[in-house]
Every structure is written in structure tokens, then in C-alpha cells.
Chains A and B, each alone.
Chain A
Amino acid sequence: MQLHFNLFIQAVLSILRNRDRSLVVTGCLLAVLLPFVTAMAVSEGVREQASLSIDNGADLYITRAQYGRNGPIALDKLAEFAEIPGVVKAVPRISGRTYLGEELAVVVGIDSVELLDNKNKRKNLSSGEVLIGHALAERLELKKGDELRFFLFPAMPFKIVDFIDGDLSIWASSLVLLTFNDAATIFKLPGFASEILLYSRPGTEANIAEHLSSLGKPWDMIPPLRIQTKSIVNQYINRGFDLQAGVFFLFYLTAFALSIPALLILSGFGRGARRKEIGILKATGWQTLEVLEMTCIENILLALLGSMLAVVLAMLWLKAFNGIGIAPLFISGISWIPEFKVPSLFTPMPVLFSFLFGIVLTMLGTVITTWKTAITPPLTTMN
């Protein structure tokens, strides 16, 4: 045990003695791993928010399929849908897109939005009132209490009663929330919803979808319903996020390409001094296995230092500095200095990958050369 402890101390001393080499190796690992860890954290953050959106959304989304696209659905179907066995409630919603000034905004009209008034009592959003995403309001230089008009219906003024906190969701940044009827007015489609949200009892989702599919007759001259269940929507996320796992290869290819200089440095940088050092160790009675063990410990410590430093810097970059300069590479539509909290979630897997990658890289660069040097007679090595 004492022997291994001594080898461990010698490995640490070797890192400190070969300071330039250690700094270059740690720097290379950092350059390779920092973008990778940061990207994975942002991805997981967006994925987490997307899952929240699905889990807390409706169980079924009903629209009309028009020319292969989603089309509006008449509200006269609302009562019929609400009576389907298993349906708890049917809520009409309008989600559309229009210009506010020169900015594109997502407009959502729904009647379930509650506000806290001056006395902290809950009240529903009233007609003529809107909630606006903080980032959008900043871009349009709008303040609470200001009036805004939509490009589609400029005759109707709306009062900004509050901002939507940017931390709630990244998709809230360009969102404008208003009542259902107001949204129907500005989109000039009264009596229609862009989708009807159905909330169902657990386990009834598939039956309701089947029931909805059987509504109407094939000869009815009405476009068919487009039904999306929560499980289908979950598949979007799983397919979308998992299929793009091919990006891993891209990152690793880049990582390996960048690692080549690190490998060269590891096997070449300070090689002469290193050879002499190993020669002296062998001449003073060290066994080849002991030299190799010390080198392995040294590599593990360097990999640990490089990978953990990359993770900590990624955490600082995203949590403390809100991904300044990197967030727009992953989330489109935001500026280099994000106006809202950039989502990020650090999971154990990328951290483990980073550490293993560091070990593989440092071991590849040193173990074989160290072994070759250690089996050479010390006199030859020292010369």
C-alpha cells in the first residue's frame, strides 16, 4: 500500500515538475471538452423544458387537416368533443403568428390565464389586456401599462398588464398572451379556434382518439380532423432528440481532430527530459511496472483535472454568465447576450464521457512510449 501511495505522490510531483507539459495537456482537454459539455447541458435544458411543455399540456390537440397543414376548427364541435367518454374538459385555443411593430410574435389566445391583481387576488385576463414576453417587450421598448396594436388588427388597442418572466420558458420570450375572443378578433376568425385542447382521464387517450377518428362520414365535405395525442407529441421529442444523437459523432470527430496536437505533444513534448527521467528511475532500481503505474496515475490525474475543469467552466459559463456568446449557437432567435435565462441541465453522462475521453487521450499518448523507454537499458535512455 505504501508503495502505491509513494507512486501516487511521485505522479503528482511529476505533473508539477513537467509544468509546461501538464498545462498544454490540460489546455487541450479543456478546448475539446468545454464546447461538448456546454452543448450537452443546453440540449438537456431545452429537452427538460420541452418535456414540461408536453407533460403539463393537453392530452389531445384537435385541428382540421387542410391541404396537409393544420387548419382552424369550428367552435360548434366543442360541446360534442366534451361529451366523448373520458374527456374531462375541452378548451379552445388560438395560437398564431403576427407582427408587432417589426417583430414577429407568437400570439396565444386562451381563457385559462390567471393574474394576480394589486391585492394579490387571482383574476382572469380581461378583454383588451395582454401579457407579453419580457424579451419581446424589451425589443419593442414597451413598458407595463403601455398600449400596443397588432399589425393584423390595428384598430384594436391592447394594454400590457404584465410581462411574462423569461425564466418560465424560452418560448415565452416572443409570446403575447390574450383572451380567446380577443385573439379570434385580431386574427379575424370569430367562431374558430386554431386547436381544441382535450383533457382526458388517465388511460382514455387512445379511445378518445379512436372515437374522434370515427366522427363524420367519408362523404362529408368537411376537412378531416388532425388528432395529436400526448404520446404522439412525446414521440416528436424522443425522435427529434434521439435521432440527432448523430451529432455526437460530429462532436467526437471534431474532438479527436483537435486531440491530435495533444497526442503529439504528449508523445513528443518534453520527450527528451522524460526519457532521461525514466532512465534515472530505472537506474535507481524502479521496476518497469512501477514506472508504468506512476505514468497511469499521472494521466488519470491530468484527465480528472482537465475534464472537471471543463465541466466547472461550462457550469460557470451557463449558470453564472447565462451562456453569453454561446447560447445563440444552440437556440435560434436569441441575441449573443441572452435576454432570458438560458436553459441548461448538467447530467452525469457527459461528465463521465469527458473523464473517460481524457483518460483515453492521455493514455494513448504516453503509455506505449513510456513502456518502450522503460524496457530500454537506462544507460541508453540517459544518453
Chain B
Amino acid sequence: MEKGVSGLLACIMFLVATVVIVLSLENGNKQTAKQAARQSFQTALGGVGMGATTVPAWNFGDYDPRLQPGAYDRLYPIPGGYSYSPDRLTMVSSFQVK
């Protein structure tokens, strides 16, 4: 087999193997120390945070709808998409103010 052929095939196999290993590590049931720490943190606080923001801009609606009623479609981190919430006027964008 030519050197280039084996090189390209090895490259593809390496990429596939990397993806499979990372996927199995990420989706395995094994609980890591980090996960346990996250669980005990949330247990101690009684559960805080749900949305895709780290700051309580204007109100808690995006930060955690448990703290203040808010639009639940804001929880998803990917911006854009149709607004399903009647209290949102923006269609594809919005701005955050600290």
C-alpha cells in the first residue's frame, strides 16, 4: 500500500477513534468527582440557575425561572429561532444589559 494511502487512512481512523473515546467518556454513567461536587453544591443551595446566562440582568427570568416567572424559551443557549414566548418581542436577537 502506498505511503499516502496508509497515512490518510490512519488520519481518518485516528479522528474516528478520538471522537468515539470522547463520546464514550462523556456519556458514560461513571460519576466523576467533579460531578459529585456539582451535585453537592446544588444540594447545599437548594438549586440555583437554569438559563444560559451568568448574570441576573434586569430580572431573574433568564437566570432561573424558579426565582421569577420568565420566558422558558430563553433557557436554550443558542441564539435565534422563533420566539415562542408572548412576552418577547425580538425574533432573532436580543440584548443583555448588566
Number of B residues whose C-beta is below 8 Å from A? 63
| C-alpha spacing A173/B51, complex, angstroms | 13
Contacts of A246 in B (CB 8 A): 81-82
Across the interface, do A332 and B1 meet the contact criterion of CB distance under 8 Å?
Answer: no
A220-253 to B contact mask, C-beta < 8 Å, 1/0: 0000000010000101110111011011011100
Task: Name the one of B37, B45, B52 contacting A108, with C-beta atoms under 8 angstroms.
Answer: B45
Verify B47–A58 contact, CB threshold 8 A.
yes
Please tell me if the beta carbons of B54 and A135 are within 8 angstroms of each other in the complex.
Answer: yes
Q: Please judge, given known A-B contacts A56-B47, A247-B80, whether A70 and B67 are in contact too, CB under 8 Å.
A: yes
Is there a chain B Cβ closer than 8 Å to A49's Cβ?
A: yes
The number of residues on chain A lying at the interface, defined by a beta carbon within 8 Å of a beta carbon of chain B, is 85
A82 interface residue per 8 A CB criterion:
no
Q: Report the bound CA distance from A93 to B43 in whole Å.
A: 13
Contacts known (A12-B8, A333-B98); A167 close to B48, Cβ less than 8 A: no
CB distance from A88 to the nearest CB of B (A): 13
A296 within 8 A of B: no
Cα-based distance from A203 to B51 in the complex (angstroms): 27
Please state if A241 and B15 are interface contacts (CB–CB under 8 Å).
Answer: no
Known: A167-B34, A168-B38, A312-B19. A106 touches B56 (CB 8 A): yes
Task: For A43, list chain B residues within 8 Å (CB).
Answer: 76-78
Contact A331-B45, Cβ < 8 Å, known A305-B15, A312-B19: no
**A123 → chain B, closest Cβ, in Å?**
13
For the complex, give the distance between the alpha carbons of A346 and B20 in Å: 10
Q: Which single member of A56, A69, A112, A168 contacts B69 (CB below 8 Å)?
A: A69
Do A104 and B57 have beta carbons less than 8 Å apart? yes
B residues 11-51 touching A (CB-CB < 8 Å): 11-12, 15-16, 18-19, 22-23, 26-27, 34-35, 37-51
Least distance between B73 CB and chain A CB atoms (Å): 5
B81 partner residues in chain A, CB cutoff 8 A = 244, 246-247, 249-250
A49 and B12 form a contact (CB under 8 A): no
Nearest opposing residue in chain B for A125, CB measure: B44
Residues of B within 8 A of A329 (CB): 79
CA A53 to CA B49, docked complex, whole Å: 7
Cross-interface CB contact of A241 among B54, B67, B75, cutoff 8 Å: B75
**Contact across chains for A169 and B42 when beta carbons are under 8 A apart:** yes
Cross-chain contact A165 with B66 (CB below 8 angstroms): no
Contact bitstring B57-95, A, C-beta under 8 A = 1, else 0: 100101111111100111111111110100000001000
A334 is an interface residue with CB less than 8 A from chain B: yes
Measured CA separation A42–B48 after assembly (Å): 19
B65 touches A236 (CB 8 A): yes
Say yes or no for A197: interface residue by CB 8 A criterion: yes
B18 to chain A, nearest CB (A): 5
B75 to chain A: which residues have CB within 8 Å?
A: 50, 236-237, 240-241, 244
Task: A327 to B46: give the CA distance in the assembly, Å.
Answer: 27
A257 within 8 A of B: no
Q: List 8 A-B contacts (CB under 8 A).
A: A57-B66, A95-B67, A105-B56, A112-B46, A195-B67, A247-B78, A308-B12, A346-B22
